[in-house]
Amino acid sequence: MGNNGRMAAAPHRVDVAIVGAGFAGMYMLHRARSAGFSTHVFERGSGVGGTWYWNRYPGARCDVPSLEYSYQFSEELQQEWEWSEKYATQPEILRYAEHVADRFDLRRDISFETTVQSLNWQNNAWRVSTTSGATLARFVVLATGCLSAANVPRFPDDDLYKGNTYHTGNWPHEGVDFSGKRVAVVGTGSSGIQSIPVIAEQAEYLTVLQRTPAYSVPARNQTLSPDYVASVKANYGEFRRKNSLTRAALGGDTPTGPQGACEVSDQERHNALEVRWQKGGLLFLGAFNDALTNPTSNRLIADFVREKIRTTVCDPETARKLMPDAVIGCKRLCVDTDYYETFNRHNVSLIDLREQPIQRFTESGIVFTRPDTDGVGKPQTIEHEFDAVIFATGFDAMTGAINKIDIQGRDGQLLADVWSEGPVNYLGLSVHGFPNLFMITGPGSPSVLTNMIVSIQHHVDWITECIAQLGDSAKTTIEADSEAQREWVEHVNTVAGMTLYTSCSSWYLGTNIYGKPRVFMPLPGFPAYAQRCAEIARDDYRGFVTR
């Protein structure tokens, strides 16, 4: 057992059942327990940490600065914990999660290695059925994570392949040694872009299989200086407050530029982008205030990045393949350390799957269809042998982990049916027909467009307050009103429609998963959303029905 030898048995009945022991589930447990509710967490892994428990691939790191990507609910915790780097590695973040679990004595109320299979609303309670039994709960909180259901694509004859295969989101705990191996990485999103430079240093030969080139900006990671850490910690509350007032709830010290990219001269635009490029990180896109609303501005910013790729990558053909032509920021921006430089190594090459698609797997590798023909019009094929194939192919985001649970609400309705055309909800917190069921950072809330820890804390605090107030009243259940839910879905679509986010295929839209409805799931803009949630709570939970 990987949970430090402790395995809590699930009680038969609790006030609050929580699914998942990542950062959301851990804080929900702490808050609900502190508010006097009997609480229990069910976790499929053998330890805490969620995303950071599963994503152990080489180079895995957070792309939000450590001093921001951490809990703020305990002043003692944020003062005592020492982050070593600007962007923490996966092992360091996992150590932090374990420290939090110990410090707040969380493990005694967590059942590890326990998967929740179904949730059934019966007689004003949820029956939580797991791989090891059943528990009745007044409230259920889904803390299942936005990027936790791995997407492993299938290819013709992939079952014939005798080499090793891996998915970045389900990496072996003991690690993998790629020394002397011919390795393929499929996928060039954040996970691919972080792992490729690290694997290239170890593998004998690395082939990157790219379907869509991504935009990536340098992280400029560094060791945190004690003076900087001390200056943040001296006024941590103010640092957090400033961050929470930005659209993405991060980077309050580097505000979005006051102008649009078209409103300045070419030289001024270049200088502003160069400053952000040198600084590194996601805030590159904040150099101008219209990056994701004005297509012309967006193209100018994208041109700057394409030029960086062209001047970094020595082989012009490889540089051409690496240059994206889509809207920058439409898919989540990647943050890297030496990603483009890695293609100058002698043991690395790039296959563009749009020009040379995967035809099938063989026992020892992959057969690609070549763009040229044999002279009589028949496409040529070429086989590459690989000892290992790594799928950095992402996740069934935001709804994937929830949909894996068979959830049956009031009057026998199934959440899978209610969501068949998209994840309808109110505030990203509740769904009509599913009383006393809450989502943390669900679709319909800012979640993945923000610093996740800020959004998690906001939701956990709101949910705890809501169920505590319900307990104080004579009512026993709360759920979204159907009309309020309809209006909310419309609101999210309207806000997303004002941006360029809907102009490309992305996991925000669900288009990376075959058959998934095309709906923009997160809501841009944290501050307005947080204000709305507070107003609704003050207004006696407007838009919710209590009984």
Residues that bind ligand NA7 (CB under 6 A): 147, 153, 168, 186-192, 211-212, 332, 353, 392-394, 507, 512
Listed residue (67, 99, 386) closest to 233, CA to CA: 67
The CA angle 130-132-134, to the nearest 5 degrees, is 55
Least distance (Å) from ligand NA7 to the CB of residue 34?
30
Residue in this structure with the two tokens 């002698």, named with its chain if needed:
346
Dihedral angle, C-alpha 21, 27, 28, 34, nearest 10 ° = 130
* Nearer of residues 394 and 422 to ligand NA7, judged by Cβ: 394
- Non-local (6+) Cβ contacts of 166 within 8 A are 57, 172, 176, 388, 389, 390, 391
* Nearer of residues 147 and 283 to ligand NA7, judged by Cβ: 147
Least distance (Å) from ligand NA7 to the CB of residue 312?
19
* Nearer of residues 191 and 318 to ligand NA7, judged by Cβ: 191
Least distance (Å) from ligand NA7 to the CB of residue 308?
19
Closest chain position to ligand NA7 (CB): 189
Least distance (Å) from ligand NA7 to the CB of residue 506?
8
CA dist 167 and 162 (Å) reads 16
CA dist 46 and 128 (Å) reads 19
Asked if residues 44 and 139 have their Cβ atoms less than 8 Å apart, the reply is no
Least distance (Å) from ligand NA7 to the CB of residue 514?
9
CA dist 93 and 70 (Å) reads 9
Least distance (Å) from ligand NA7 to the CB of residue 150?
9
- Non-local (6+) Cβ contacts of 460 within 8 A are 24, 27, 28, 31, 440
* Nearer of residues 167 and 269 to ligand NA7, judged by Cβ: 167
* Nearer of residues 17 and 328 to ligand NA7, judged by Cβ: 328
Tokens of 241: 């407050």
Least distance (Å) from ligand NA7 to the CB of residue 392?
5
* Nearer of residues 60 and 203 to ligand NA7, judged by Cβ: 60
Least distance (Å) from ligand NA7 to the CB of residue 137?
30
Q: For the range 114-117, what are the long-range contacts, defined as Cβ-Cβ under 8 Å and sequence gap of 24 or more?
A: 114/10, 114/42, 114/43, 114/44, 115/42, 115/44, 116/19, 116/42, 116/44, 116/405, 117/405, 117/406
* Nearer of residues 395 and 438 to ligand NA7, judged by Cβ: 395
* Nearer of residues 190 and 430 to ligand NA7, judged by Cβ: 190
